[in-house]
Amino acid sequence: MRKEYGLNTGFKWFFLVFGGITTLMVIGLPVLLIGLKGKAVVDEEGLEWWWLTRNRIPWSDMAEIKKAGVAGLLGALMSPLSIVRSNGKPANFPSGCFKDRDDLLATIAERSGKSLP
């Protein structure tokens, strides 16, 4: 003879609410931070962008700029560039996410002296 005992109502609601809040924080907080802090800066020294972390690459350290591999619709809309540093370590730059993308890319090509894909 089989008997099932479910969670009592208090614990059931606790886990549902706690799980919902945790999910929102894990997924929503990084997205919110990108929306609040995301920007790209081009200056005399190099290219800097804020995504979830700050990335900075000096113009002299850029060995190659090529298209990065994309997955899915969102990846295609971001149209990322893979900026390969002199030491061979690449950094993905989400060029399609920033305002005036064409002007930004033209400035990067001019300052880096590299042709863009």
pLDDT per residue over 35-87, tens digit each?
888 999 999 999 999 988 899 999 999 999 999 888 888 888 888 999 999 98
CATH 2.70.70.10 is the classification of domain 38-117: no
Q: How far apart are CA 77 and CA 97, in angstroms?
A: 8
pLDDT on residue 81: 92
Looking at every residue in the chain, the average pLDDT score rounds to: 91
pLDDT on residue 33: 87
pLDDT on residue 23: 92
Query: Among positive and negative, which fits the CA dihedral 12, 15, 19, 22?
Result: positive
In this predicted structure, the answer to whether residue 2 has a pLDDT above a threshold of 90 is no
